[in-house]
């Protein structure tokens, strides 16, 4: 069990499984798997006329997205374990592998046939799902998109002679996520949190059972353009560029 909570009960409830949390023996990728990372930096400083200096620094960070699992939106009712959704989905290979039922949203009824068309298109477009049709999804088998972010720092020094000693007045300009300032579609960071289930994407909704009391019904309520991840658009560590101006005086 990954250390994702301060309480044992939450550790147990947060585990993604197929056969139930009390029978979990599979080897799977950790919630904290970092994937790949590339970092690089460049800095150039030029002093001139013994009056000042200019410096430019660039820092690049490229890293794999966070891992996530495809689960059912079932309120814990599919396996009757508890209220937290953590049951890994079965990936249907054809429409006969899943019982989809019509649903109505905003006055519009979406048929089972339309849902299967959207679901099949989504499965075929996902590299992991498309290669594992007819199987249960694994834990943390997917990742949000790769993130590439460039930060920029500009420094301007002004030398001040005080009784033969050189003091320095420095003005700094930092641009965090400079990539997003260049292009609004660059420098994006992502998170996966579907329905409050962190690092989980609720692919299918559980719609109760058929008259036999054992066969489950489902719906696919995402539409053909749904993505399991969202753009992180808040806070300092976000997809938005931010700028900081600083002033420092150094005594010698």
- Tell me the per-residue pLDDT of 134-162, one tens digit each, with 9 for 90 and over: 999 999 999 999 999 999 999 999 999 99
- Of 122, 123, 121, 127, nearest to 141 (Cα)? 127
The C-alpha atoms of residue 71 and residue 197 are separated, in whole angstroms, by 9
Three-state secondary structure of 72-93: EECCCCCCCCCCCCCEECECCC
The C-alpha atoms of residue 127 and residue 134 are separated, in whole angstroms, by 14
Q: Taken in order 9, 14, 15, 21, is the CA torsion positive or negative?
A: positive
Residue with tokens 């998109």: 145
Residue with tokens 């931010």: 242
Q: How many CB atoms lie within 10 A of CB 174?
A: 16
The C-alpha atoms of residue 170 and residue 246 are separated, in whole angstroms, by 8
Do the Cβ atoms of 51 and 79 come closer than 8 Å? no
pLDDT in tens, the chain (252 residues): 777 778 887 778 878 888 877 776 778 899 899 999 999 999 999 999 989 999 999 999 999 999 999 999 988 788 777 667 888 999 999 999 999 999 998 899 999 999 999 999 999 999 999 999 999 999 999 999 999 999 999 999 999 999 889 999 999 999 999 999 999 999 999 998 776 667 899 999 999 999 999 999 999 998 878 899 999 888 878 899 999 999 999 998
End-to-end CA distance of the chain: 55
Take residue 201 and report the two structure tokens written for it.
């994407």
Beta strands in 49-146 (DSSP E): 52-63, 67-73, 103-105, 108-110, 142-143
Do the Cβ atoms of 226 and 126 come closer than 8 Å? no
Measured in degrees and rounded to the nearest 5, phi and psi for residue 131 equal: -95, -5
User: Which residues fall within 8 angstroms of residue 57, CB to CB, at 6 or more apart?
Assistant: 41, 42, 43, 44, 152, 153, 154, 155
223-228 contact pairs (CB < 8 A, 24+): 223/118, 224/117, 224/118, 224/121, 224/122, 226/122, 228/68, 228/70, 228/142, 228/144, 228/192, 228/194, 228/201, 228/203
The C-alpha atoms of residue 230 and residue 225 are separated, in whole angstroms, by 13
The C-alpha atoms of residue 130 and residue 142 are separated, in whole angstroms, by 12
């Amino acid at each position: 069990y990954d250390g994702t909570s301060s309480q044992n009960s939450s550790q147990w409830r947060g585990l993604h499984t197929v056969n139930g949390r009390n029978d979990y023996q599979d080897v799977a990728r950790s919630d904290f798997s970092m994937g790949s990372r590339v970092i690089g930096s460049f800095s150039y400083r030029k002093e001139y006329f013994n009056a000042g200096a200019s410096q430019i620094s660039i820092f690049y960070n490229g890293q794999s997205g966070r891992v996530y699992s495809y689960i059912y939106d079932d309120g814990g009712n599919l396996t009757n374990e508890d209220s937290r959704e953590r049951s890994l989905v079965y990936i249907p290979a054809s429409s006969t592998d899943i019982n989809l039922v019509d649903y109505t949203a905003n006055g519009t009824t979406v048929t089972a046939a339309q849902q299967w068309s959207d679901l099949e298109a989504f499965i075929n477009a996902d590299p992991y799902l498309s290669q594992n049709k007819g199987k249960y999804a694994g834990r943390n088998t997917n990742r949000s998109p790769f993130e590439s972010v460039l930060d920029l720092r500009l420094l301007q020094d002004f030398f001040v002679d005080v009784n033969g000693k050189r003091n320095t007045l420095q003005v700094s300009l930092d641009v965090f996520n400079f990539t997003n300032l260049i292009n609004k579609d660059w420098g994006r960071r992502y998170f996966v949190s579907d329905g409050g289930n962190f690092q989980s994407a609720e692919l299918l909704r559980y719609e109760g059972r058929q008259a036999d009391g054992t066969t489950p019904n489902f719906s696919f309520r995402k539409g053909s353009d749904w993505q399991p991840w969202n753009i992180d658009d808040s806070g300092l560590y976000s997809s938005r560029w931010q700028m900081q101006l600083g002033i420092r005086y150094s005594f010698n």
